[in-house]
Amino acid sequence: MTTAADVLRRSPVTPNRRHIPVFVTLGLLLLTFSIGSVRYENFGTPQVFLDLFIDNAFLIVVAIGMTFVILTGGIDLSVGSVVALSGMLCAIGTSKLQLPAPLVILFVLLVGTGFGAAMGYMITAFQVQPFITTLAGMFLARGVCLTLSENQISIENGFFDAVALNSLRLPGGNRLSWGAVTALIAVAVAIYVLQWTRLGRNVYAVGGSEQSAMLMGLPAGRTKIQVYAISGFCSALGGVLFALYTLSGDPTHAVGMELDAIAAVVIGGTVLTGGSGYLIGSVLGVLVLGVIKTILSFDGTLSSWWTRIAIGVLLFGFIALQRLIGARRKSRRSAPS
């Protein structure tokens, strides 16, 4: 069993067997992209690769928050509903109330962060299982969406239009949307927090063994509240990016996105029981899912349900890989010296 002391002594960037799932995910990404490039004309262009970030910017940000939560051994089922609620608040605030877009975005981020922190407090203070707490949060956020409006609301705002319709120009005539740029900045910040700050070390320690972390005097309860607040913030930011992507708010948006986020995190090598995983793996997991969807789009004859089938197969494979690595590690520890 991994203890908090083991986690704190081990550098998060030291190469070890824990990196194997990340390298497998990277190899899978390169393999699927290569297959698409060989099979379909113009698939292997730089713009198609950049489109993976453009079309999945919101999911990348949501997966960031989910990675923090799963690293502590928790789960957050409310992220999809919070994404939808954030989009609804953006649409209502800018189009109906005619409020300045930056003020609306700030309010949305505060609401998401507070919502996540409240769930973290419930989990910590009342010892409620994260699955039950976040399931309640999922129903609550989705219900609020439907209370605000049962119909789609178009966003008619100059700020949103300018950000959504313009992009960062890159060499070769390629482009990257500002939503994707925001997602990449969020990834860089999150990697720094996880790997080089006290909060990041606490996250790994709590996920490795919460009891050991508490015996060492680490703030396990406060760390849980912080990671759920981070997940709420990332969900709200993902909702803003989704609103930019669709220029609308809809109470039915992001249904099932929590499952996509969990799948991306697991495919990226993060262990569901906590204490082991890397954020870059979650990003690679999102890109793998994006490549699968892009291949189906280029083919045009396959049903979108093949995406779900592929995700299911990948999840089974990566869970088996994690169990295999864990079993080998356990056998090495138990072997006589």
Q: Is 167 exposed, middle or buried (0-12, 13-18, 19+ CB in 10 A)?
A: middle
Cα 50 to Cα 43: distance, rounded to the nearest angstrom: 11
- Which pLDDT score is estimated for 8? 46
Tokens 């986020």 appear where? Answer: 261
Domain holding 157, by residue range, is 4-11+19-328
Q: Is the pLDDT of residue 257 over 60?
A: yes
Residue 337 lies in a domain: no
Higher pLDDT among residues 143 and 1, named by residue: 143
Average confidence (pLDDT) over 307-331: 79
- Which pLDDT score is estimated for 13? 44
Residues counted in the chain: 337
- Which pLDDT score is estimated for 20? 86
- Which pLDDT score is estimated for 331? 66
Q: How many domains does the chain have?
A: 1
Residue 103 lies in a domain: yes
DSSP for residue 249: E
Residue 334 lies in a domain: no
Q: Is 336 exposed, middle or buried (0-12, 13-18, 19+ CB in 10 A)?
A: exposed
- Which pLDDT score is estimated for 14? 45
- Which pLDDT score is estimated for 323? 76
CB 212 within 8 A of CB 1: no
CB 73 within 8 A of CB 274: yes
- Which pLDDT score is estimated for 185? 98
Question: Which of 144, 150, 92 minimizes the C-alpha distance to 115?
Answer: 144
Least confident among 145-149, 172-176, 305-309? 305-309
Q: Is the pLDDT of residue 10 over 60?
A: no
Residue 333 lies in a domain: no
**Tens of pLDDT along 20-68?**
889 999 999 999 999 999 999 889 999 999 999 999 999 999 999 999 9
In sequence order, the 6+-apart residues with CB closer than 8 A to the CB of 2 are 208, 209, 275, 276
CB 241 within 8 A of CB 57: yes
Q: Is the pLDDT of residue 2 over 80?
A: no
- Which pLDDT score is estimated for 23? 93
Q: How many CA atoms lie within 13 A of 249 on its CB side?
A: 32
What is the CATH number for 223? 1.10.3470
Predicted confidence band of residue 12 (pLDDT cuts 50, 70, 90)? very low
Residue 133 lies in a domain: yes
- Which pLDDT score is estimated for 56? 97
**Tens of pLDDT along 190-219?**
999 999 999 999 999 999 999 999 999 999
